[in-house]
Structure 1
Amino acid sequence: MLLALLLCYAGFTALCLAMPRHHDELLGGKPSRRRRRGLVLAGWLLLGLSLWAAVSSKDWGLGLVDWFAVLMVSALALVLLLPYRPRLALALAGVSLLGSPVAAWAMN
């Protein structure tokens, strides 16, 4: 479940950075069209991988329930961090990307 949480948070952060307002606030400047497409693609890919991680750790019935719980927790964390600590929200996304291979290794 930790792997799904890390991937969900990173995916939501990538989708958030695809928006010009948040990209400007966190990284400075508006994203190019190519970067926006890449961030959207990466965000949806990470969310899809988190679904795979949740379902592979448990069966489809409980895996989907866990995935929806992880979706809500990671979105809530991002929404609460973004207005008050935007740099921390970005740093946590980087840490979650770096920690996801470790969580995947520990899952096996």
Structure 2
Amino acid sequence: MLLALLLCYAGFTALCLSTDRHHGELLHSKPTPRRRLGLRVSGWLLLPGSIWPAVAVAGWSQGLVEWCAVLMLSALLLVLLLPYRPRLALGLAGAGLLACPVAAFVTL
């Protein structure tokens, strides 16, 4: 479930960075249209892609339930971190993406 959590959090962070407000707050610049599109596409690919590790570990019935829980947990974590520790929220997403291969190796 760790891999699903990391992918969900990275997906939500990418979607968050595709908005002008959060991109400017975290990266101190306005996103270009190309960057905005890239962040949206990657965010929307990471979220459904995070279903695979959950289903691979627990099967379809339990895996989808656990994936929904991980989806809500990652969104809650991002929502709670953005107002108080926005740089930490961005750092966790980057560290999570770097840890994904390790989590995939441990999971499978």
Bin of the TM-score, shorter chain as denominator length = over 0.9
TM-score normalised by L of structure 1? 0.98
TM-score normalised by L of structure 2? 0.98
1:60 alignment counterpart: 60
Q: Which moved more, 1:21-30 or 1:49-58?
A: 49-58
Letter in 1 for 2:7: L
Alpha-carbon distance, 1:62 to partner: 0.5
Distance 2:57 2:47 in 1: 16
Alpha-carbon distance, 1:88 to partner: 0.2
Which runs of no fewer than 5 residues in structure 2 stay unpaired?
none
Alpha-carbon distance, 1:47 to partner: 0.8
Letter in 2 for 1:101: P
Alpha-carbon distance, 1:53 to partner: 1.2
Letter in 1 for 2:13: T
1:95 alignment counterpart: 95
Map residues 1-108 of structure 1 onto 2, 5 A cutoff.
1-108=1-108
Alpha-carbon distance, 1:79 to partner: 0.1
Which runs of no fewer than 5 residues in structure 1 stay unpaired?
none
Structure 1 residue runs of 4+, over 2 Å off?
none
